[in-house]
Amino acid sequence: MYDVQVPYAYAASLSSGGATSRVSTLGNNPSVDTATEPEDVWSGATLGILNGIDHKFIPKPQAPTSMEIVSDSANDIAAGTGARTILVAYLDANYAAKTTILAMNGTTPVALPETVMRVNMVTVVTSGTFGSNNIGNVSVRAAGGLGATYSYLVAGLGFARSSLFTVPANVSMDLLSIFVSINRVDTNTRAATFTLCNQNQAGRLIKGLELAITSDSAYRHEAAGVPLINYATRTDVWMRCESVNLSGTNVTASLFGYTRNAVNFTL
């Protein structure tokens, strides 16, 4: 989405720490309302209360959960005009990072290969003739369709817009940059307040940073190219819109950083 310049000393420390992996989330909530604030920045907030679960907050399984992927369009199918195969990046029962590519079957659910603790990314891999992405809304949900939806691809977008990232097992995450914006939907000047949320495996929630902006300009928060914070393994990190001045406010939030092994320095 955008480049972040990293000082040489920090880049060197990343290299000395072993394996690194780039993290970039992009979340969108198309309609935050004053009556339902706060709401998390993810597209699944539009589901509202579904199966008795309020999706304005991103659902997070408390135990390994069987999941399935399904579209609300019959055209998102292996030989269809919409999404044919979709990649799901997830954390397994032990929080190990894994990916799977699933062949879509339209409105018939397709099971993920094993139980899941978190879904970090969902994106279309191959498609038919419809704009190279999904015709229908695609859900990664609890198996059987009677529980929570954990990731949600809006029709025509090709990837799930969620600000959530969960740090896999055996690595930590350096957060380098936060981006927040209010997207114009009319001529009104809109305002919103965001918080950076993190929650550990035990369920302790911390809101460590608060950012207030208006629709006149987006805002990018950094700390001179060095990490804003380091998150421990198995930590959930995401953006929440705490308040808006007008209902129907469309907000976007993004996180950028790296996961890495522990850095060991010797003299």
- pLDDT value of position 14: 59
Confidence of residue 40 (pLDDT cuts 50, 70, 90): very high
Whole-number Å distance between alpha carbons of 114 and 90:
10
Choose among 174, 163, 165, 166: nearest CA to 20: 174
Q: Quick check: helix, strand or coil at residue 10?
A: helix
- The secondary structure of residue 168, as a DSSP letter, is P
Q: What is the pLDDT of residue 164?
A: 98
Tell me what the mean pLDDT of segment 25-47 comes to: 97
pLDDT of 262 over the 80 cut: no
Q: Are 56 and 130 in contact (CB under 8 A)?
A: no
Higher-scoring residue by pLDDT: 264, 55: 55
Residues in Cβ contact with 187 at an 8 Å cutoff, skipping those fewer than 6 apart: none
**What pLDDT does 8 receive?**
46
* First and final C-alpha spacing in the chain: 38
Cβ-based neighbours of 64, under 8 Å, separated by 6 or more: 92, 93, 115, 116, 117
The candidate with the shortest Cα–Cα distance to 160, out of 19, 25, 8, is 25
pLDDT in tens, 194-250: 999 999 988 899 998 999 999 999 999 987 767 899 999 999 999 999 999 999 999
| CB contact at 8 A, 244 and 191 | yes
Mean pLDDT of 16-32: 85
Phi, psi values for residue 129, rounded to 5°: -95, -5
The per-residue pLDDT for range 114-172, each reduced to its tens digit, is 999 999 999 999 999 877 899 999 999 999 999 999 999 999 999 999 999 999 999 99
The CA-based angle 214-44-152, given to 5 degrees, is 125
Instruction: Assess whether pLDDT exceeds 50 at residue 267.
Output: no
Q: What percentage of the chain carries pLDDT values higher than 70?
A: 90
Delimit the domains of the chain by residue range. Answer: 8-41+164-260, 44-153
* pTM across the whole model: 0.91
What pLDDT is recorded for position 225? 67
> Per-residue confidence at 53, pLDDT binned at 50, 70, 90?
very high
Q: How many CB atoms lie within 10 A of CB 262?
A: 10
Which token pair is 208?
Answer: 């460590």
Selected from 2.60.120.20, 2.160.10.10, 3.40.50.10470, 3.90.45.10, the CATH number assigned to the domain covering 8-41+164-260 reads 2.60.120.20
Q: DSSP state, 16?
A: H
Q: pLDDT tens digits, residue range 67-115?
A: 999 999 999 999 999 999 999 999 999 999 999 999 999 999 999 999 9
CB atoms within 10 A of CB 92: 18
The Cα–Cα gap between 251 and 215 comes to: 9
Distance CA(4)–CA(14), nearest Å, equals: 15
